[in-house]
Structure 1
């Protein structure tokens, strides 16, 4: 992308790979300790065992990296993307459920993938698919798209210009829609010069007509979540009173990404201080709940391979 050509050194560690992949910039180092930011001290990071017994998910017929899982609202289809490494051709894929830990791969989604990156899929109860792509970022600053998903094909695709970032330094690189289709949990990162992202925080947008608008109140609702570390890849519960997300760059997991959970009493109340899901060990990101919220899907780094895992409540 020409508009980002001056930012070739954004990411300096694996925990920044998501942002770097979206912008198609190279990873300059892989040391997890390179993640920086004030973050939280491990002694001050309370933990939760709400989800445990993590197990790898088998994708029958598929033998490649699998990341950013999302289970459609009827529980029948697992959506994901392959590796988001800048050297990869990152596309959206789908697989049909066999059981909690087994899905049959059906291929790439039709009508949506391009030569650019397509990633982080999610759907609402009406079958509307949301995902991010930098395909038109250079001219629009917009990265969030929506289309109708049916039997592995996406139709009526549209770009959500109302969610465009305000300038070149800002990029929305994650989005998950709520079950009712009225809310989006977004992640936006800020970059300065040729360095790594200096912030990555969550924000909330609400549907108004055909578009979504960022809510100024989200800074208050998310005050206990957004820190000097990187917060991204959020996941809603059905009632929007529970939020799971990824945090990287603090001290609580040696700088590596970890998955956190937080709660609130209603839509207009702030979320409580989050708890780290301590049973989900290793380099983990991108939580996604099953429709009954009994299962939590996410991806994990296993050696040189990204795999989807599932834990249970």
Structure 2
């Protein structure tokens, strides 16, 4: 669960712009809606599943176990049908072996470029986003993702991230941690970076204006997910401050009419308190299914919802 990544330790996204093409005031925004919740069965899995990511072909479901920052690893399962997957095992190449460690938050573009967050050699090396090439349950050619979106400041991490389907845009969530003065992230900022070369992304000059309706200093943001057409941005948020049993976690969406305009004011799709919190949405390429995880009595499970017809 992404919140534990920030609450217990410490482990987005956004996209391009141009203010010339704003949504017309004459055209009301139509936000998508989703149907009832369905629990996803992962045959053979005996532990928690959190922070899901569905591959562009729909055949692989990636996830990590509990985000405790001690022994957090990436795993994967293969598709049987929309709500059923067969557990395979660890995602080879991504996971550290010496505790304490964290390898979590799977992402992948349509070309098999796999991204995840890792505490490898942290804090000696502060840029903690990694990438590699995925093939048949293995990730190789591993390297750190470089770019000015890395704060390279002790206490700051790329807490979450999301890659666009074509691999050209990185949506990132920078978070500042300070265990003395706050539990979990003290503050976060969402941004968008564009690919410069295989391992480097540069923050868009108009990243702030594209996200001006979303970024709000009163909230903690994480788990961004950009739709395949770059028109819908999903993420999780909660109000900044002490986390209590009454803290509400929200899966939100912001939309736009074209991929070169700013995102709308967000709409809350789902909301739960921490006892049953829901986080980390991911969408199929056709946008018809949303997967996410939810806290249950004894564990964290992956859930899904079908998109309602519009």
Deviations 1:82-115 (A, max 9, x none): 110234x111101000011100000001112103
The correspondence for 1:297, drawn from 287, 291, 296, is 291
Provide the aligned length of Structure 1 versus Structure 2.
Answer: 277
Matches within 5 A, 1:54-93: 54-87=37-70, 89-93=71-75
Partner SS state of residue 261, structure 2:
coil
- Identify unmatched segments of 5+ residues in structure 2: 12-29
Sort the Cα spacing of 1:239 and 1:290 in 2 relative to 1 into closer, same or farther, 3 A: same
1:124 corresponds to 2:109: yes
The correspondence for 2:80, drawn from 98, 119, 127, is 98
Sort the Cα spacing of 1:312 and 1:226 in 2 relative to 1 into closer, same or farther, 3 A: same
- Tell whether the 8 Å contact from 1:259 to 1:280 is kept in structure 2 after alignment: no
Corresponding residue for 1:191? 177
- Identify unmatched segments of 5+ residues in structure 1: 1-13, 25-46
Q: TM-score scaled by structure 2?
A: 0.83
Partner SS state of residue 123, structure 2:
helix
Q: TM-score scaled by structure 1?
A: 0.82
**Cα RMSD (Å):** 2.4
Structure 2 distance, partners of 1:16, 1:287, is 13
The structural deviation recorded for 1:187 is: 1.0
Structure 2 distance, partners of 1:80, 1:15, is 11
Deviations 1:230-258 (A, max 9, x none): 1111001112111000011269x952211
Corresponding residue for 1:270? 262
The correspondence for 1:309, drawn from 297, 303, 306, is 303
Deviations 1:272-302 (A, max 9, x none): 0010113888411000001211000000001
Structure 1 distance, partners of 2:72, 2:8, is 9
1:148 corresponds to 2:133: yes
Answer 1 or 2: which has greater strand percent: 2
The structural deviation recorded for 1:266 is: 2.8
The 4+ residue runs of structure 1 with deviation greater than 6 A are: none
